[in-house]
Amino acid sequence: MAKYKIVHYINNFFSGAGGEEAAGMRPEVHEGAMGPGLALLEAFGEDYEIAATVVCGDNYFGENLEDATAELLSMIEPFKPDLFIAGPAFNAGRYGVACGTICKAVEKELGIPVLTGMYEENPGVDMFRKDLIVIKTKNSAAGMRKAVPVFKNLGEKLVKGEEILGPDIEGYLERGIRVNYFAEKRGSERAIELLVKKCRGEECPTEYPMPKFDRVEPTAPVTDMAHTKIAIVTSGGIVPQGNPDHIESSSATKYGIYSIAGMERMDKKDFMTVHGGYDRAFVTEDPNLVIPLDVLREMEKEGVIGELADYFITTTGTGTATGNAKAFGEDFVGKLKEDGIGAVILTST
């Protein structure tokens, strides 16, 4: 009996090519299993083989989404796999976006079942959870051992066309998809049982979980702008030329703080945008469209604002997980407070 074929996708780090210094590597294909694929191969057993491993650097994929996807598809198709697995990416943002992107393309273009895995706060989860089955993992590779059996069970079901049950049963992340089914008890009976459990202080999980939204109470308005120090924060992806901190064009995992001391305006010779979610042509010519330094300097001279901070804080908003965005704010708010910032102008695109 012929073995079921799997093709596995991993990034530069998990292939052993290296870290950031190898993140620009172009797509490659290798026969057999490598890196985390070895653990998957062992778990799937003798009826399965990892026919090939495709590899791509995180930076190359993120900066060349269409080309990288097309190159990888051309490498995957000749093996005619029964299953495609990407990752798991754990909490690596760029890797998660790459895994989701290639899985979606393989499923659509090649008609092959796909699986990937990520930590729940990986930006790739929000981008692809409705399109793909994303196995829930820990936030680091230390969780690989627990993830492998879930990949095996779900992978076998996909290959054999068996029913995939709910996320809590199977171990994947909630997709926001409601499925009708016949329950053993009518709704009124189940409702009374839940009410009794709640009255007793017992655990009573809802059958219809609602989304959770982070509520932030607005602070008091600024009453005296003429004596207030202002800082600029942006999700518009403005960075110094060359992007020295390698802030991603989407699904950012980092932010930057850059000096504007002594500058009257943002100059295209000094600044650029890496944002991947809008037409960058106008901002490339005039970065003041996102960081309005020219106007704010005028307001500073006219006494409309008290003072402008000598730096701006920047990241890329498109695709960035709310968990990462919240962490950025919690991280740099200490600096804003230390510097006596009384208000922030938050610009987007």
In a domain, 15, yes or no: yes
Lowest mean pLDDT among 95-99, 180-184, 186-190, 220-224: 180-184
Residue 212 lies in a domain: no
- pLDDT score, position 94: 87
Do residues 154 and 259 share a domain?
no
Rounded to the nearest integer, the mean pLDDT of the chain is 91
What's residue 62's pLDDT? 86
Confidence of residue 1 (pLDDT cuts 50, 70, 90): low
Question: What confidence tier does 319 reach under pLDDT thresholds 50, 70, 90?
Answer: confident
Rounded percentage of the chain residues whose pLDDT exceeds 70: 97
In Å, the largest CA–CA distance within the chain is: 82
pLDDT digits (tens, 9 = 90+) for 8-33: 999 999 999 988 888 899 999 999 99
153 and 16 belong to one structural domain: yes
Q: Are residues 32 and 144 in the same domain?
A: yes
52 — pLDDT class (breaks 50, 70, 90):
very high
- Residue 176 domain flag: no
- How, if at all, do strands 134-136 and 114-118 pair? parallel
Q: Hey, what amino acid is at 76?
A: I
Res 341: pLDDT: 95
Q: Are 225 and 306 in contact (CB under 8 A)?
A: yes
Do 155 and 13 belong to one domain?
A: yes
SS (H, E, C) 20-44: HHHCCCCCEEEECCCCCHHHHHHHH
Residues 265 and 156 in one domain: no
Question: How much is the pLDDT for 211?
Answer: 67
**pTM score:** 0.65
Residue 23 φ/ψ, nearest 5 degrees: -70, -10
| Average pLDDT value for residue range 196-222 | 83
Does residue 59 fall inside a structural domain? yes
- Residue 285 pLDDT: 95
Together in a domain, 162 and 235? no
Residue 216 lies in a domain: no
170, 186, 207 - which closes a domain: 170
Domain that holds residue 332: 225-347
Last residue of a domain, which of 148, 170, 192? Answer: 170
Same domain, 147 and 242: no
Task: Tell me which amino acid residue 243 is.
Answer: N
Residues 6+ apart with CB under 8 A from 125: 96, 118, 119, 134, 173, 321
Joined together, the tokens standing for residue 325 give 């965005």
| 154 and 19 part of one domain | yes
| Residues 30, 35, 39: CA angle, nearest 5 degrees | 115
pLDDT at 147: 94
Q: Is residue 289 part of a domain?
A: yes
Does 180 have pLDDT greater than 80? no
Dihedral (Cα; 278, 284, 287, 290), 10-degree rounding: 0
Residue 295 falls within a domain, yes or no? yes
CA distances from 226 to 89, 137, 182, 301 (A): 48, 50, 65, 11
218 in a structural domain: no
Residues 164 and 312 in one domain: no
Beta bridge partners of 7: 52, 84
Model confidence pLDDT, tens digit, residues 93-119? 889 999 999 999 999 999 999 999 999
Q: Which of 78-82, 183-187, 195-199, 201-205 has the highest mean pLDDT?
A: 78-82
> CATH no. for residue 131?
3.40.50.2300
Q: Regarding beta strands 307-314 and 229-234, do their DSSP bridges make them parallel or antiparallel, or are they unpaired?
A: parallel
Can you say how many angstroms the Cα of residue 161 is from the centroid of all Cα atoms in its chain?
29
CA distance 166 to 151: 15
Domain count, the chain: 2
Same domain, 243 and 129: no
The letter for the amino acid at 303 is G
- Is the pLDDT reported for residue 130 higher than 90? no
Rounded to whole angstroms, how far apart are CA atoms 117 and 134? 5
Residue 178 has pLDDT above 70, yes or no: no
Q: What pLDDT is recorded for position 168?
A: 85
User: Which phi and psi angles does 112 have, rounded to 5°?
Assistant: -110, 140
